[in-house]
């Protein structure tokens, strides 16, 4: 196991609603409304951005592709196919993990929350390919900026496509509230996070049917 392939910056674990002293990490413009993030593909860091900078980097090739915007897509995957033996093969010691394509490493990485932050669990050879084969939704996953988030529950697996910054918000909460696992749960803070993910995933389903 190794450290995180994507290093969160100081404000990553903070709410998206910026305070009066928050500024864009790219142009230093004051951020006074809900803001987005971009990934610096060279440093693997997440940066807080004003709306103008965020929109600038939505154009392909901006800054020679050095930055990639983090989308705000949440997709619930109630029919996701994941067997217990597949999960066990990931060797994730906690009840949740997220998976994303790291373009710098040219492979998919699996990370899970821990007291030390995001910790990598090496995927078995061919594991991701098999998941894609049975779950075509994974083909829509955008490298570096979107992740498959999995929470193991008593009734099965709860799976979502989420922005990568949401995953690191989860990691930040886990570090703040870490008291060990009791009955497979990590406490109210983590459950509140997943309640928000569920709500946004459900909203995306409703919007897709309109």
Contacts (Cβ under 8 Å, ≥6 apart) of 18: 31, 32, 33, 34, 35, 48
pLDDT tens by residue, 83-131: 999 999 998 988 899 999 999 899 999 999 888 889 999 899 899 999 9
pLDDT class of 11 with cuts at 50, 70, 90: very low
Tell which wins on pLDDT, 20 or 38. 38
- Residue 185 in this model has a pLDDT that exceeds 90: no
pLDDT at 164: 96
- Residue 17 in this model has a pLDDT that exceeds 60: no
pLDDT tens by residue, 22-68: 899 999 998 866 789 999 998 888 999 999 999 998 887 766 678 99
C-alpha distance across the termini of the chain, in Å = 44
**C-alpha 142, offset from chain centre:** 11
Tell me the sheet residues that pair with 112: 119
For 25, the token pair is 């990490």
Q: Are 167 and 111 in contact (CB under 8 A)?
A: yes
pLDDT at 187: 64
pLDDT tens by residue, 141-177: 999 999 999 999 998 999 999 999 999 999 988 887 7
CA-to-CA distance for 113 and 97, rounded, in angstroms? Answer: 7
pLDDT at 114: 85
Name the percent of the chain lying above pLDDT 90.
54
pLDDT at 115: 83
pLDDT at 77: 95
Neighbour-count burial for 82-105, b at 16+ CB within 10 Å, e otherwise:
beeeeeeebebebbbbbbbbbeee
Please state whether 180 falls in left (phi above 0), alpha (psi between -120 and 50) or beta.
left
Across the range 183-199, mean pLDDT stands at: 77
């Amino acid at each position: 196991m190794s450290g995180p392939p994507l290093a969160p910056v100081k404000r990553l674990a903070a709410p998206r609603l910026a305070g009066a002293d928050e500024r864009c990490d790219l142009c230093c413009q004051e951020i006074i409304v809900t803001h987005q993030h971009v990934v610096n593909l060279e440093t693997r860091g997440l940066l807080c951005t004003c709306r103008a900078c965020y929109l600038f980097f939505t154009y392909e090739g901006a800054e020679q592709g050095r930055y990639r915007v983090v989308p705000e897509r949440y997709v619930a995957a109630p029919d996701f196919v994941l067997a217990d033996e597949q999960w066990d093969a990931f060797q994730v010691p906690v009840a949740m993990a997220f998976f994303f394509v790291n373009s710098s490493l040219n492979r998919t990485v699996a990370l899970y929350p821990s007291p030390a932050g995001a910790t990598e669990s090496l995927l078995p050879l061919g594991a991701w390919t098999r998941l894609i084969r049975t779950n075509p939704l994974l083909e829509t996953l955008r490298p570096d900026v979107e992740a498959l988030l999995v929470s193991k529950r008593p009734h099965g697996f709860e799976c979502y496509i989420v922005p990568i910054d949401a995953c690191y918000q989860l990691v930040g909460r886990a570090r703040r509230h870490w008291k060990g696992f009791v009955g497979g749960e990590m406490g109210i803070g983590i459950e509140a996070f997943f309640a928000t993910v569920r709500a946004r995933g459900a909203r995306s389903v409703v919007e897709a049917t309109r």
